[in-house]
Amino acid sequence: MSTVRDATFDFLRRRELTDIFSNPGSTEIPFLTGLPDDLNFVLGLHEGTVVSMASGYALGRRRPSFALLHTTPGFGNAVNAIATARVNRTPIVIAIGQQDRRHIAFEPFLAGRLEGLAGDYPVWVSQPSRAQDVVGALERAYHEAETHRCPAVVIVPMGDWLEEAGEPHEVAAPQRVLRPGAVDAESVAALAELLDRSAQPAFVAGARLDTPERWAALVALAERLGAPVYQEPFSGQAGFPQDHPQWAGPLPFLRPQLRETLAPYDLVVAVGAPVFRQSTYEPGPFAREGTVLAVVTDDADEVHRSPAELAVLAAPELVCRELAERVAQRPRPERALFQRPEPPAADAPLRAAHVLQALGDRLPPDAVVVEECPSNRDELMLRLPARQPLGLVSPAMGGLGWGLPASVGLRMGLPDRPVVAVLGDGSTVFGVQGFWSAARYGIGPLIVVLKNGGYRIMDQLAARQGGAPAWPSFGAVDIAALAEAFGCEARRIADAEALGTTLDEVVPTLRNRTAPLLLEVTVEAD
């Protein structure tokens, strides 16, 4: 007899989901015991780490990944990572184990109240009505995840796995989904008219543009118009080459500074981004009166919430390509629009700027930099430009604990590219189990921790609020010892010379590394 479990193995093979990111419990035993050899089980020691690794893997491979979690405890632990995956537009099929249907009415041990547990962060949540519908639900979750670039969840009662498989004609999902991009003449004409009328247009590139085709399309349009291209605030990925002469830097995340930055322009077109994601509230509009705001994106949510004069819901690369053909060539700027800061003076004590500059001087153009260092994020954007797609990846929702495990998943998905995570010490502790998976499975990201001894960004916010922080620093937390406890090699660095010689030795190894390495760099708090 072929079982639901067998049919699920075939689903995983068919959809290239044979790497199973998981932390299992008793509800997953029937599925996982005696797993066929062609399925690769990847253990994470906490479910936040499991889903963050799956997230990095999906981003790196640009296709859905698969995670298997343990009923309420596993799903609950993973909610932050699932929310991050949603905001980072990461497709993940997540199966969640549940108690057996045959006695769930008695609320047995580990019976989960699962459907609403992650709110609407998963784009789709389903508990199939019958065991025989599990595979159809997984197939549908795969399509939902891919279409919306979000996590999608299927809840599977543990007794279902060994039930008889359903009939193929009962699978409520297509075998193939094609998603043709198209753009109509009317949309192009409406945007072309705005651009023709504009004396000073500017673009804002969003994370959705982080593919080679999309970078190229916006480059072509921006070069045609000689217009600056800013990066959307809090972007999870770079939408434009950050070493291009027309790259104008990241947009501010507070409205007064945003208005000031956008003041020279009479038209601002956000491409692959909404208008606009900001940090704390400040009154007033996003842009001065007289600046027309427009949006071009294939994310309906971004379109629907943007206070724009015109929004076009379409594949941005198609729109940009058509527009580039259509608009007149204008002069291009004579010098690079964005001036990178000078290297910091080589004095003691070591600061984050020194570390980021030292990395920037050495990393090859195809390096993948994972950012999770809150008080040094701006500095990182200045000194580590994304020069190729996936050159910058960061947790766009703001939840910490993603960067370390995501760098492990990215390196698994991109085995030919150097991967470097730059993390705050506080951030590292939220995802510390990632060290173990990297070491156990021979995955070699470089993890650089900026050890400033506390939650510096929070201290800065408290100072801006005019008071003392309620929370203490945690200066004594020994990150290198934590990494070593999980089996990851670690080095402690406290001066510029040691930093330079270590990076000279380590950076050339990054492309072929099969073991993770932590550099714990003690820096002065900024």
Ligand X SMILES: Cc1ncc(C[n+]2csc(CCOP(=O)(O)OP(=O)(O)O)c2C)c(N)n1
Q: Quick one: 202 or 396, whose CB is closer to ligand X? A: 396
Residue 506's H or E segment, with its range, is: helix 496-506
Main-chain phi, psi angles of 89, to 5 degrees: 55, 60
Choose from Mg ion, ligand X, none: what does 194 bind? Cβ within 5-8 Å by kind: none
Minimum CB–partner distance for residue 452 and Mg ion (Å): 4
Choose from ligand X, Mg ion, none: what does 401 bind? Cβ within 5-8 Å by kind: ligand X
Minimum CB–partner distance for residue 480 and ligand X (Å): 15
Question: In sequence order, which residues have a C-beta less than 8 Å from that of residue 474 and are 6 or more positions away?
Answer: 425, 426, 453, 454
Q: Quick one: 136 or 151, whose CB is closer to ligand X? A: 151
Question: Contact between 80 and ligand X (CB under 6 A)?
Answer: yes
**Measured on CA atoms in the order 77, 432, 88, 279, is the torsion positive or negative?**
positive
Q: Quick one: 415 or 471, whose CB is closer to Mg ion? A: 471
Question: Contact between 373 and ligand X (CB under 6 A)?
Answer: yes
Minimum CB–partner distance for residue 296 and ligand X (Å): 30
**Which residues ranging from 454 to 473 are in contact with ligand X (CB under 6 A)?**
454-458
| 365 upstream amide cis, omega within 30 of 0 | no
For residues 96 and 114, the answer to whether their CB atoms sit within 8 Å is: yes
How many residues in total does the chain contain? 526
| Crossing angle of helices 403-413 and 47-61, rounded to 10° | 40
* Residue span binding ligand X (CB under 6 A) among the ranges 10-18, 98-106, 250-258, 371-379: 371-379
CB atoms within 10 A of CB 192: 16
Specify the amino acid at residue 46.
Answer: H
Residue 311's H or E segment, with its range, is: strand 310-313
Question: Contact between 427 and ligand X (CB under 6 A)?
Answer: yes
Q: Quick one: 35 or 471, whose CB is closer to ligand X? A: 471
For residues 135 and 108, the answer to whether their CB atoms sit within 8 Å is: no
Q: Quick one: 234 or 240, whose CB is closer to ligand X? A: 234
Selected binder of ligand X within 401, 418, 431, 445 (CB under 6 A)? 401
Choose from ligand X, Mg ion, none: what does 374 bind? Cβ within 5-8 Å by kind: ligand X
Output the residue with the shortest Cβ distance to ligand X.
424
Choose from Mg ion, ligand X, none: what does 136 bind? Cβ within 5-8 Å by kind: none
Task: Give the separation between CA 3 and CA 160, rounded to whole angstroms.
Answer: 9
Specify the amino acid at residue 303.
Answer: V
Task: Give the separation between CA 284 and CA 24, rounded to whole angstroms.
Answer: 49
**Measured on CA atoms in the order 7, 8, 11, 16, is the torsion positive or negative?**
negative
* Residue span binding ligand X (CB under 6 A) among the ranges 164-172, 313-321, 379-387, 451-459: 451-459
End-to-end distance of the chain based on CA atoms, in angstroms?
Answer: 64
Selected binder of ligand X within 249, 252, 424, 434 (CB under 6 A)? 424
Q: Quick one: 302 or 425, whose CB is closer to Mg ion? A: 425
**Which residues ranging from 132 to 161 are in contact with ligand X (CB under 6 A)?**
none
Task: Catalog residues that contact ligand X under the rule CB under 6 A.
Answer: 80, 373-376, 398-401, 424-427, 430, 452, 454-458
